[in-house]
Structure 1
Amino acid sequence: MAVLRTNVEFAKRIFQDRVGNDYVYGGNWNPFNLKVGTDCSGLVIDICDAVRNGTAMAWTRHGMSTESWRPIEVGQTGTIFNTICVASPNDFPADAAVKIAIHHGPGGGANSHMWCEVEGIRMESNGSDGCVTGNQARSVYDTSYANDWHYLPGPITGQAGVDPAGVLARATGLSVPRAAEILPAVSDGLKASQCTNVNRIAMWLAQVGHESAGFNATEEYASGAAYEGRADLGNTQPGDGVRFKGRSWIQITGRNNYGLFSQWAYRQRLVPTPTYFVDHSTELADLKWAGIGAAWYWTVARSDINALSDRQDLETVTRRINGGTNGLADRRDRYNRALLQGDALLQLLNQEEDDMFTDDDRNLLRQVAGVRRPSLSPLRHLDEGDVNTCAGFAWTADGLTHPQFVAMAAKYGHMDSIRLLGEVAGADPVKYPDRQEDAALAKAILADVYAANPAALQRFAQNGA
């Protein structure tokens, strides 16, 4: 029997509203008081009721407890929700709406326990921690404690709302406008980090969020002078400490690491040269590189982080990034907050799926419009450095060649060109104060036209300019 998407989202919401509540043996959630706690079976009963009936759920225990799921034959249906028994969690169907794990202890009651999962969101109420989720909650795939498994059949029908900025905001605690602002950098970073499942995405958001002070810092606050002369970082030249201070959401620090990151980014076709960030160190603080820099650390500098994330090993990942366990409590809070979004986190990966661009197209666009390059003019300033992008040079070419064409055409009697020169020469200084240098140039060109071809201006005047 299919269940409605709206009902599933309602079930997630009533659970998320109550995470952190106390465990109350025999209790039941209250629709009018979010602080009222429940026990393990009360949570599972309410979640099944919400998934099956949505806002029409009864908000009662229906006279049920863990004992209502006493072992039955595999494949048999039990309880008023028509849940189905399976031999092991490996037998949960992919479209199960609610997955349930149970430990049946002697005599039931306090010796038994149960918990559930909806679309990757762990849901549990236990006597030690209360209502919990994330890695504080048990997995329904646990076989060391659970000895019975059931599921509420799906499939789930109806479209899930696609709101990646909202998902990111809820997963990180950011405002929706700020989440929307950083979403492209987050999405690029997650994809480059190969964070393709819920556990990896949640770990990335938790660790990167902590390291960057809530996705705010793309550059360390100190000057970097403390790194001056640090041979272990490759800072062998005067000024390297400041030049190669920590940048990106997970800080890349030192000439050596800037060089390694540049080579990696070049192989990914993200930059035009293998020494790009050595030559343009301050650009690494730009938001567009914030997630990419973190991805290099995540997949290259500490290449086992994804495997650890798959195991939900928050502490070891923290040690890989921090060298210790500084900020572990904040990282855990961020991790559990992100896990509450469950499969919705996958929306963060799909920012460009609705267009026709390939990865090569996007890389080409970055090269054309995102990478600054030096001028090739023989009269460029000495030590000028990079001045514009390819797209910018094309725009600049318009600014240089169009005046030359207009001046030449006007001298040959081209009426539209003479008319344009007259228009610009007559720019009102009150209305167009920013065009007065252009007006002076137009007047000078008109003077040259008059000297070279006075008949053209006379003809223009006679034809009613």
Structure 2
Amino acid sequence: MPAILQLGDSGAAVTQLQNALKERGFSPGAIDGKFGQGTIAAVMAFQQSENLLADGKAGPRTLAELGLVTDDTLPDATDAFTVQVVSRMFPQTPLGNIKANLPVVLQALVDHKLQDKRMVLTALATIRAETASFRPISEGVSRFNTSPNGHDFDLYDRRADLGNQGPPDGARYCGRGFVQLTGRTNYATYGPQLDPAQDLVRQPELANDPSIAANLLALFIGDRELAIKDALLHGDFQAARRLVNGGTNGLYDFTNAYQTGDQLVPD
């Protein structure tokens, strides 16, 4: 069975797919071994039913859900994202930072099964938007987090949506890392999911350790994988950015990095 079946494919594997879809109650029309519009519609309906990305392509996860393959691992695109490719996605970034941190980011994506092209692009584009230097950093003081004449990050101190409980939570749980993890709730949520687990509530500065930062990035976007991919499938970079950032700050950098990488790395 090929890793992916899509429009224009034909043969015994497509016949198997069509039969499996029909058995599950999603008729593709004629069982003819040709991946046409009827098969696309059936695949999409099945994907929607099973909370899979409804792209009309039968990839590893769809094929596994239909019982046609046992391994639902997505194709690994990480090898294609070389320092040379990524440097073009980060045109203003010191090459040494990319050389130092790209391997740990790619490894974290593989470890969390986010090694397919869309998620690698999402992770790298997020880094471009959040810390164009391609190294984990702490959030800077700005008018969005600090009031006039207020102490640093005072506008974060009582943000209930971030789980902050008052001073000094704003500064203590400011954005850090590659994804700019922000707020007591996020530090409490993702620290225990690291391997080995970390108490980021007590030691929030650990979020700037490159390995921890890379894994936090993977965990954070992994929780939003389906929604991110759906937004990207429809070309909605603004929605994809909001899912990670909560707003559209850095949208140009995110979109530019994603589109540049998408052009440089073949599907």
**TM-score (normalizing by structure 2):** 0.58
- Residues 5-43 of structure 1 show CA distances to partners (whole Å, capped at 9, x for unaligned) of xxxxxxxxxxxxxxxxxxxxxxxxxxxxxxxxxxxxxxx
2:255 is equivalent to residue 336 of structure 1: no
8 Å CA contact 2:106–2:115 kept in 1: the answer is no
Deviation at residue 314 of structure 1 after TM alignment: 2.1
* Superposed displacement of residue 162, structure 1: 7.8
Number of the residue aligned with 1:293: 216
CA separation in 2, counterparts of 1:237 and 1:319? 26
C-alpha contact (below 8 Å) 2:130/2:179 kept by paired residues: yes
Gaps of 5+ in 2: 1-5, 12-56, 58-78, 142-151
Q: CA deviation at 1:317?
A: 0.4
Aligned to 1:316: 239
C-alpha displacement at 1:240, in angstroms? 1.8
Q: CA deviation at 1:279?
A: 1.5
The equivalent residue for 2:90 is: 172
Cα separation, partners in 2 of 1:319 and 1:193, compared to 1, 3 Å: farther
Within-5 A mapping of 1:271-282: 271=197, 276-282=199-205
The structure where strand makes up a greater share of residues is 1
CA separation of 1:335 and 1:185: change in aligned 2, threshold 3 A: same
Kindly report the root-mean-square deviation, in angstroms, between the aligned alpha carbons of the 2 structures: 3.2
Aligned match of 2:34: none
Q: Tell me the equivalent position of 2:73.
A: none
d(CA) in 2 for partners of 1:299, 1:242: 26
Distance 2:224 2:80 in 1: 34
Pairs within 5 Å for 1:213-224: 213-216=132-135, 218-222=137-141, 223-224=152-153
CA distance in 2, matches of 1:92, 1:171: 36
| Offset at residue 307 of structure 1 (A) | 4.2
1:178 counterpart letter in structure 2: N
SS class of match (1:203): helix
For residues 366-408 of structure 1, the C-alpha deviation after alignment (integer angstroms, 9 at most, x for no partner) is xxxxxxxxxxxxxxxxxxxxxxxxxxxxxxxxxxxxxxxxxxx
Paired residue type of 2:173: F
Report 1:355-394 matches (<5 A): none
1:235 paired to 2:161:
no
- Which position in structure 2 is the counterpart of 1:284? 207
Please say if residues 218 and 290 of structure 1, whose CA atoms lie closer than 8 Å, have aligned partners that are also in contact.
no
Contact 1:233 1:257 in 2 (8 A): yes
- Matching residue of 2:129: 210
Contact 2:94/2:133 (<8 A) preserved: no
1:246 equivalent in structure 2: 175
The corresponding residue for 1:258 is 187
Indicate how the Cα distance of structure 1 residues 175 and 236 shifts in structure 2: closer, same or farther if over 3 A, else same. closer
- Cα deviation for residue 310 of structure 1 reads 5.1
Structural mapping, 1:38-437, within 5 Å: 89-91=7-9, 164-173=82-91, 174-192=93-111, 194-216=113-135, 218-222=137-141, 223-236=152-165, 238-265=167-194, 269-271=195-197, 276-300=199-223, 304-309=227-232, 312-343=235-266
Distance 1:194 1:307 in 2: 18
Distance between the aligned counterparts of 1:215 and 1:277, measured in 2?
22
The aligned residue for residue 42 of structure 1 is none
Maintained 8 Å contact 1:171/1:340? no
Question: Do the aligned partners of residues 208 and 236 (structure 1) sit closer, same or farther apart at CA in structure 2, a change above 3 Å counting?
Answer: same
**Residue 23 of structure 1 aligns with which residue?**
none
For the 8 Å contact 1:185–1:289, the answer to whether it is kept is no
Distance 1:256 1:186, change over 3 A: same
| Amino acid in the other structure paired with 2:170 | G
Q: In the alignment, is the contact (CA less than 8 A) between 2:127 and 2:179 conserved in 1?
A: yes
In the alignment of these two chains, the number of paired residues is 185
**Please, what TM-score do these two structures have when normalized by structure 1?**
0.35
Offset at 1:330? 2.9
Provide the identity percentage: 26
Q: CA deviation at 1:171?
A: 3.6
Cα distance, 1:229 vs structure 2:
3.1
Whichever residue aligns with residue 191 of structure 1, its letter is: V
Q: Could you tell me how far 1:319 is from its partner in structure 2?
A: 2.3
- Equivalent residues of 1:228, 1:242 under 8 A apart: yes
Structure 1 stretches (4+) deviating beyond 6 angstroms? none
Q: 2 CA distance for matches of 1:208 and 1:224?
A: 22
| Paired letter, 1:90 | G
CA contact (8 A) 2:105 2:211 kept: no
